[in-house]
Amino acid sequence: MALIVQKYGGTSVGNIERIRNVALRVAQTYDAGNEMVVVLSAMSGTTDNLIRLAHEACERPDKRELDVLLATGEQTTVALLAMMLKSMGYKATSLLGHQAEVVTDCACGSARILNIGASRIRRLLADGQIVIVAGFQGADIHGNITTLGRGGSDTSAVALAAALKAAVCEIYTDVDGVYTTDPNICKKAQKLSRISYDEMLEMASLGAKVLQIRSVEFAKKYNVPVHVRSSFKEEEGTMVMQEDADMERLVVSGVTCNKNEARITLKGVPDRPGIAFRILNPIAEAGILVDMIIQNTRTGNITDFTFTVPKTDLREAVEISRRVAEEIGAEEVMSDANIAKVSVIGVGMKNHSGVASRMFAAMCEENINMLMISTSEIRISCIIEEKYTELAVRALHTTFGLDKPEETLP
């Protein structure tokens, strides 16, 4: 008997028929003699609709109340699944985040899980129950409902698997595994049978939304084997696991893109010590995450300072930048939301030179201008105009030899 955590994403619980399909899968795994904890997302589109509603109610919804609202999406699906399983004759109980003792920090909208008590889950499991937990939510130490950021149900599931020392955390989604790139963008993407935590961390942080990045951080930290697979098919998906000696070390193993960033440039900034701090500190204090940063020196003691922020924070970041620009005597503030970041990732890059130039050659061949570039030990990213995203992803996928052989294309 093993303890298995299964997480079903929004598409997998998108309507009653699909929830019934989930109930059958859960029942099957339970009947095979396993202990079961099931984590659910809201029905696909629900969280977006709730966010839209909140913005109809007021321009800047209060973050605490927004979390109270967003948490209702997952409350609906866990109740529906639990009542179906009960009507099929199984013992099942649905729990909201706080009932499952998911304790988070107070950062509404992007809270981090601090601890999972799970004593009630253990008691229910000991009673032979199937436990169904609402993903994406927890509560802070004051008892306020919090949510974990978009895609947060993945993190709920892996964190629960870690807390309960589950044998495996199965992530059921609308694709049958982790691919070399988003299979919905590139038909030649190949399914990976295994991927290391480190590569998956990079892929997730650079835009592969198949797993939320924090879920991979948890998986790596607590060594939870994660199996990403389809809720519509039986076949095995992708194991996300510790890197081992047999893992194929391709120079580049994945290509990602992210359209959720925007760029801000302060032009004509005086070039003196402390300026980067003056510009970025108020942005950080507003809780806005800065990703890429570049500074170009012009003639004289003048520079242009450019950085990227999440698109959702662009307005606030521009307001702050305008204020700072005035204080430090910069010429002007420009912003651009029509950008995307494309990246190539691979642990094999550590021991290979020339990866960057191959990437740049591919972009040049497609006549795509790179606006910003950044690198780490196992990835290279560049910012381009958003309209070229798909073209760039496909070109890089081909350049680094990741395309499926022609004869296996559907």
> Is 209 near ligand ASP (CB under 6 A)?
no
> Is 42 near ligand ASP (CB under 6 A)?
yes
Q: Which does 184 bind (CB under 5 to 8 A by kind): Mg ion, ligand ASP, ligand ADP, none?
A: ligand ADP
Residues numbered 302-361 forming contacts with ligand ADP, rule: CB under 6 A: none
- Tell which one of 136, 179, 305, 400 touches ligand ADP (CB under 6 A): 179
Rounded Cα–Cα distance for residues 297 and 277 (Å): 17
CA 381, distance to chain mean position in Å, is 17
Is residue 37 within 8 Å of 121, Cβ to Cβ?
yes
Length of the chain: 410
Rounded Cα–Cα distance for residues 341 and 261 (Å): 8
> Is 151 near ligand ADP (CB under 6 A)?
yes
- Tell which one of 73, 109, 237, 254 touches ligand ASP (CB under 6 A): 73
Interface map 147-186 toward Mg ion (x if CB under 5 A): ----x-----------------------------------
> Is 210 near ligand ADP (CB under 6 A)?
yes
Q: ∠ CA 7-155-80 to the nearest 5 degrees?
A: 40
> Is 14 near ligand ASP (CB under 6 A)?
no
Which residues pair with residue 385 across a beta bridge?
A: 339
- Tell which one of 29, 41, 94, 258 touches ligand ADP (CB under 6 A): 41
> Is 108 near ligand ASP (CB under 6 A)?
no
The DSSP annotation for 201-226 comes to HHHHHTT-TTS-HHHHHHHHHHT--E
Q: How far is the CB of 174 from ligand ADP (least distance, A)?
A: 5
Q: Which does 346 bind (CB under 5 to 8 A by kind): ligand ASP, ligand ADP, Mg ion, none?
A: none
Rounded Cα–Cα distance for residues 345 and 355 (Å): 10
Q: Specify the stretch interacting with Mg ion by CB under 5 A; choose among 54-62, 81-89, 144-152, 383-391.
A: 144-152
> Is 205 near ligand ASP (CB under 6 A)?
no
- For 364-407, strand residue ranges (E) read 372-376, 379-385
Closest CA to 312 of 259, 379, 389, 239: 259
Rounded Cα–Cα distance for residues 164 and 348 (Å): 34
Instruction: Output phi, psi for 295, to 5 deg.
Output: -130, 125
Site size for ligand ASP, by CB under 6 A?
13
> Is 173 near ligand ADP (CB under 6 A)?
yes
Q: Specify the stretch interacting with ligand ADP by CB under 6 A; choose among 193-201, 205-213, 301-309, 313-321.
A: 205-213
Instruction: Output phi, psi for 208, to 5 deg.
Output: -80, 95
Instruction: Output phi, psi for 378, to 5 deg.
Output: -125, 25
Which residues pair with residue 78 across a beta bridge?
A: none
Q: Which does 179 bind (CB under 5 to 8 A by kind): ligand ADP, Mg ion, ligand ASP, none?
A: ligand ADP
> Is 10 near ligand ASP (CB under 6 A)?
yes
Q: Specify the stretch interacting with ligand ASP by CB under 6 A; choose among 39-47, 202-210, 214-222, 240-248.
A: 39-47
CB count within 10 Å of CB 390 equals 16
**Which lies closer to ligand ADP via its Cβ, residue 220 or residue 229?**
229
What sign for the dihedral angle of Cα 95, 99, 102, 104? positive
Closest-by-Cβ residue to ligand ADP is 9
Residue 326, classed as helix, strand or coil, is helix
> Is 135 near ligand ASP (CB under 6 A)?
yes
Q: Specify the stretch interacting with ligand ADP by CB under 6 A; choose among 101-109, 206-214, 240-248, 305-313.
A: 206-214
Q: How far is the CB of 320 from Mg ion (least distance, A)?
A: 30
Residue 321, classed as helix, strand or coil, is helix
CB count within 10 Å of CB 319 equals 12
**Which lies closer to ligand ADP via its Cβ, residue 11 or residue 93?**
11
Two structure tokens written together for 109? 């909208």
Rounded Cα–Cα distance for residues 176 and 252 (Å): 21
Interacting residues toward ligand ADP by CB under 6 A: 9-12, 41, 151, 173-175, 178-179, 181-184, 203, 208-210
Interacting residues toward ligand ASP by CB under 6 A: 9-10, 41-42, 47, 73, 135-136, 150-154
Interacting residues toward Mg ion by CB under 5 A: 9, 151
